[in-house]
Chain A
Amino acid sequence: MGVEVVEARPLPLDAAAIGRISERHGEADWLRELRRSWLQRAMETPFPTGQEEEWRRTPLKELPRDGALLEEAAFRPELPDSRLADRGVVFTDLATAARDHPDLVRPYLGVGDGVASHAAFWALSLAGWTGGTFLYVPRGLEVDGTLIARITQPRADATFLPHTLVVADEASSVTLLEELVSPDGAPGWFGGTVAIHALQGARVQYANLQRLGDAVWNVGAQRVDVGPDATVTTLNTQVGSRVTKLGLDLRMSGKGGTSLLLGLLAAGDDQHIDINSLQDLIADHTTSDLLYLSALYDRARAGFYGVTRVEETARQSSSYQECRNLLLSPHAGAEPIPVLEIKTNDLLRCGHGATAGAIDPIQRFYAESRGLDAAEAERMIVRGFFEQVIAKIPVEPVRTTMLAALAERIGHSEAFDEAEAAA
């Protein structure tokens, strides 16, 4: 089959580049071949045209494409407790894991189609990934505490495509927090992808804090597959980047699976944060809820296009999708679009809700009448607004990390902390 190059301007990587990456990491043949086949797909998959519902609000033409591809990312996440390694937990960077544990990586890496809305970007990342995390938790093992990984883009003006792969084997349980960091200043392209496989009965909590530089374009994609009776909760917090276009693709293909997609967004200046999600309920007795909250300052804009799709095969499903936007300045804007595509009537529960608007003046009045000035009242109310999500992952250090990052934009509310401490 001939290769059809669909982009006039060059892709950020080519066969030579992925060859160099493989060399640098001493990659085995299976991995070299995997990269090559994804490169082929990348060349044959066109970029979104902007006509697609998910991409209409993102000015994709402005994606910075001149940054050199990062062919090596030097960091290595570590297990807090070496005994976990003895019990079979693998937690390291993906390249090392592919080399040292191919039996665990190979069955899951690059399997499936990734995130449908971001097909072109998924393919690029699977072809040219460097850095990223690999986490494997063996059957029946419950990992206490939170595993932490930091994905750092050392130079702002680069193209960086890390891939994180999480596999929670049957009846295991783990919490992973990833932090995405890059410097301010120059524009770059961060195209990180995440794939989570929760096997039967597994419980996974995945938190992602995006604190990329103020000129960076973040085109991210997360794919989650939830097995029978498994539970996956993801929390995505957006604080950084100039433009974020995050695609979430969640497939409930295991009977009895449960999922919860949480999101927090605090944006200001001229940030443009656009998130699209797909919750695809395929098997019987599945549950999938979504709650995304945003606080928008200055001239920030938030878009949200979420699709809940209940297939004919998904009997007795439960789903609720909720997106709430607090507009905190005259020039902020929000476009929340929750979509339902329901192909069966055998539903337990199905609905969605979306709101956008300013802080309720009665709430404000109440706070100010307690002696808080206007600014402090607003901080307290916004902090309280976010609590709906924070309360659903009360795990440390996820909670404190997220709150600290949000406070950079929304400010710190002592009044809220005092009220909480007293309660």
Chain B
Amino acid sequence: MALPNPALSQLPDNYKYGWHDADAKHLNIAKKGLSAKVVEGISRFKDEPEWMTKLRLKAYRHFEARPMPTWGANLAPIDFQDIYYYIAPTDKAVQSWDDVPDYIRRTYDKLGIPEAEKKYLAGVGGQYDSEVVYHNIRADLEKLGVIFMGTDQALKEYPEMFKEYFGTVIPANDNKLAALNTAVWSGGSFIYVPKGVHVELPLQAYFRINTENMGQFERTLIIADEGSSVHYVEGCTAPTYTTASLHSAVVEIIVKKGARVRYTTIQNWSHNVYNLVTKRAVAYEDAVMEWVDGNLGSRVTMKYPSIYLLGERAHGEVLSIAFAGSDQHQDAGGKIIHAEPNTTSLITSKSISQGTGRTSYRGLIKVYPGCKKAKSTVRCDALILSDEARSDTYPYMEIDEEDVTIGHEATVSKVGSEQLFYLMSRGMTEAEAAAMIVNGFIEPIVKELPMEYAVEMNRLIQLQMEGAVG
């Protein structure tokens, strides 16, 4: 769902993007299943430096040793041996549409990608079956020294910078899924913005899972040097298939002194995907980091974008929307660690559950001793649209400094009958009225999205609402 598509007129259960490209010619399909051999094979095939191969193998050891998390959503159905861990459709990234292989272009066409050439986009790194196939960095960005390429390519072209930052924000052994990603990562985006450079237009990319049982393990690394700013937008779709699919990405972001990064995600995976992601940013002095996180799809999402405020006056924000329809569980939230004085943070979470869906907010505000004048506000609101839906809120707080102001507020509610009645008395149908109320509910976050995503979001919610009110 990278861009608005006028054909979006079907209900989500008739999953619009529910198809996969039968013509896919996969040059190398590693066999299903995971082992040290597969891990090493991936690294050798990519022709990686020795340190990366060793790191992958170490990460695989950690993955094997760690147990699955016992909290959060139900992950029992995932069979790690029933997944392909690597597919490379082409040998290298290309610079223009003409070079992209036919079947991939058809995929992109169906998803509306030719519109990516519109002037307001700076470039697109597209993920197709684990490899960044296409990206187009505009001349002006190149002139400014902005690096925007696939992570695999960045490892080759900028090895020192890569090694300096890779795994410093999310180390291999941080959690089981991060260990898996570090072992088998492939694809993702690498962005470096030099000092003082402001990238005006959002950089975009998206991902797809194509082959049945294909795991997606992209690894993204963004470094915003002092005083710079950039907005990265990630949106994705996936086709439907009958067995569980796994998306386990890792995103590391470093926001240096005075810099500003916003990372927007609209996730709309089909309803058989397990979306388990580790996203973490560090923000230094006077830096600003913002996660805008929309979780609409997937069967299960477990994702808690985090910000470590490591410099004075750093500011972190997490804006999160979660929508869970029947048989979906969105377990999301945000974590902010205050490690320096005068740091501020804001978490705003809006969640909606309907049918038999379940949303859970899980968050942490941690203030280390000595972080005077730290301020944090967390606001979680949940809307439960049906009898059988469910909502949970788990807001953790660890406050070890006195001279701070930390607050958390949450409400859980349903669509008020008085509100509905009022709007219906003005001529709306019940579905329209409910959709309007729900849109008002999520408005504070939707207004932060790039316009085309905001339009898509509102339309999606509207579709979900049809038949939901009762």
Interface set of A (CB-CB < 8 Å, partner B):
312, 325, 327-347, 350-358, 360
Contacts and interface: CB of A to CB of B under 8 A. Distances in A.
B404 interface: yes
B395 A338 contact: yes
Contacts of B398: 333, 335
B183 to A, nearest CB: 27
A342 B410 contact: no
Contacts of B402: 327-330, 332, 357-358
Contacts of B388: 312
B406 A356 contact: yes
B302 interface: no
The 3 A-B residue pairs with the shortest CB-CB distance in the complex, in nearest-first order? A345-B384, A327-B402, A345-B414
A340 B360 CA distance: 9
Contacts of A351: 409-412
A12 B228 CA distance: 64
A159 B316 CA distance: 49
Nearest to B405: A357
- Which one of A328, A336, A354, A360 has the greatest number of beta carbons of chain B within 10 Å? A354
B399 interface: yes
6 contacts: A312-B388, A327-B404, A336-B408, A337-B395, A340-B382, A345-B414
Given A345-B389, A357-B399, A352 B410 contact: yes
A342 to B, nearest CB: 5
Interface in B406-424: 406-414
Q: Which of A312, A333, A357, A360 is the most central at the interface, judged by chain B CB atoms within 10 Å of its CB?
A: A357
Nearest to A353: B409
A355 B411 CA distance: 15
Contacts of A342: 382, 384, 390-392, 412
User: DSSP majority for the A interface?
Assistant: strand
A356 B384 CA distance: 29
B396 interface: yes
Given A329-B402, A333-B399, A339-B392, 4 more contacts: A333-B400, A336-B408, A345-B384, A345-B389
B387 interface: yes
A360 to B, nearest CB: 8
Nearest to A331: B369
A334 B412 contact: no
A332 B398 CA distance: 11
Nearest to B415: A345
Report, as a range, how many residues of chain B touch the other chain.
Answer: 20 to 34
Contact of A347 (B396, B397, B399, B412): B412
A238 B323 CA distance: 41
Do most interface residues of chain B lie in helix, strand or loop, or is the interface mixed? strand
A343 B393 CA distance: 12
Nearest to A326: B402
A351 B392 CA distance: 11
Interface of B: 369, 382, 384-414
A341 B390 CA distance: 8
A351 B401 CA distance: 26
B406 A339 contact: no
Nearest to B404: A357
Given A338-B408, A345-B386, A350 B395 contact: no
B414 A330 contact: no
Contacts of B410: 338, 340, 351-353
Contacts of B404: 327, 356-358
A340 B410 CA distance: 9
A357 B407 CA distance: 9
A335 B407 CA distance: 12
A342 B408 CA distance: 18
A346 B414 contact: yes
A341 B397 contact: no
Contacts of A341: 390, 392
B397 A345 contact: no
A351 B388 CA distance: 19
Given A351-B410, A357-B404, A334 B390 contact: no
B401 A345 contact: no
Contacts of A346: 387, 414
Contacts of B384: 342, 344-345, 347
A346 B387 CA distance: 7
A170 B413 CA distance: 33
B393 A355 contact: no
Contacts of A328: 402
A356 to B, nearest CB: 4
A281 to B, nearest CB: 12
Contacts of B399: 325, 327, 333-335, 356-357
Contact of B397 (A312, A329, A354): A354
A330 B401 contact: yes
A345 B470 CA distance: 11
Contacts of A340: 382, 391-393, 410, 412
A186 B400 CA distance: 29
A312 B384 CA distance: 12
A190 B92 CA distance: 70
Contacts of B390: 341-343
A345 B395 CA distance: 20
A312 B408 CA distance: 26
A358 B403 contact: yes
A377 B236 CA distance: 56
A270 to B, nearest CB: 15
B411 to A, nearest CB: 4
A178 to B, nearest CB: 31
A346 B391 CA distance: 12
A336 B394 CA distance: 11
Nearest to A328: B402
A344 B410 CA distance: 16
A354 B411 contact: no
A337 B406 CA distance: 12
Nearest to A322: B409
Contacts of B385: 345
Nearest to A320: B411
A344 B387 CA distance: 5
Given A338-B395, A339-B392, A342-B392, A353 B382 contact: no
